[in-house]
């Protein structure tokens, strides 16, 4: 029978892993866990505020697993390569993979968009290089030279985020459907839009030219 999440939290003081974790690595600082929130126990985290990146070590009472959770800008997702039911196994994974994981957060995974994206012409798409680094409170955070693998065959190719307000527009390429589109966040809450749906990069470039700044202003209201 699985332990209660409160029992897991109470046993953290005697867990050797928390004494073995380095205080700093790859520009990240070790931070104490924030405790229980619903079915999630935050055990500890590594934070790089300058790069808006964080790695959380958590236990989830939903599946009774220890898991690693990555935050890159306003994107948060579990790394399903590394999870364990037993805490000793989780400790082994963390100590072995921590340098690799923090490097990935700093520099991206190094993965390319894949074979399906070649015909879309990303290699010759220079439009994004002319985009401003900042638009009011928004910062250009993700670019096609270092795309972020997302979910359901999608990659984030462009991302403007206002980190202080939790507002965002991200442009995505879906390799299954060979489509380009955008998603929004306002106050960290996801929103949908079809304003940037496009079948090719030329079409997306035109839509960004026409609608980007207006969309960002709407998000700030």
- By CB atoms closer than 10 A (0-12, 13-18, 19+), residue 131 is middle
**pLDDT score at 79:** 84
- CA-CA distances (angstroms) from residue 78 to 54, 82, 142? 12, 9, 19
**pLDDT score at 167:** 98
What parts of the chain have a pLDDT lower than 50? Answer: none
Closest CA to 165 of 184, 187, 185, 183: 187
Residue 105: CB atoms within 10 A of its CB come to 22
The three-point CA angle 63-2-54 to 5° equals 45
Q: For the whole model, what pTM was predicted?
A: 0.83
**pLDDT score at 109:** 57
Phi/psi of residue 111, nearest 5 degrees: -80, 145
**pLDDT score at 80:** 81
- 97: tokens are 């993979």
């Amino acid at each position: 029978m699985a332990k209660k999440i409160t029992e897991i939290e109470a046993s953290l003081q005697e867990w050797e892993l928390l004494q073995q974790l380095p205080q700093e690595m790859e520009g990240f600082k070790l931070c104490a866990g924030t405790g229980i929130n619903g079915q999630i126990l935050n055990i500890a985290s590594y934070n790089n505020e300058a790069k808006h990146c964080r790695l959380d070590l958590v236990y989830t009472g939903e599946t009774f697993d220890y898991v690693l959770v990555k935050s890159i800008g306003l994107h948060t997702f579990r790394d399903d390569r590394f999870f364990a039911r037993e805490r000793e196994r989780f400790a082994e994974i963390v100590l072995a993979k921590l340098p690799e994981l923090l490097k990935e957060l700093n520099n991206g995974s190094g993965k390319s968009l894949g074979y399906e994206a070649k015909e879309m012409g990303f290699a010759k798409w220079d439009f994004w290089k002319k985009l401003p680094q900042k638009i009011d409170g928004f910062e250009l955070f993700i670019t096609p030279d270092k795309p972020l693998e997302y979910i359901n065959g999608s990659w984030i190719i462009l991302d403007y985020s206002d980190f202080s307000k939790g507002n965002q527009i991200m442009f995505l390429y879906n390799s299954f459907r060979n489509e380009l589109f955008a998603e929004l966040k306002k106050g960290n809450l996801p929103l949908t839009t079809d304003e940037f749906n496009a079948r090719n990069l030329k079409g997306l470039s035109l839509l960004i030219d026409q609608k980007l700044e207006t969309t960002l202003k709407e998000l700030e209201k």
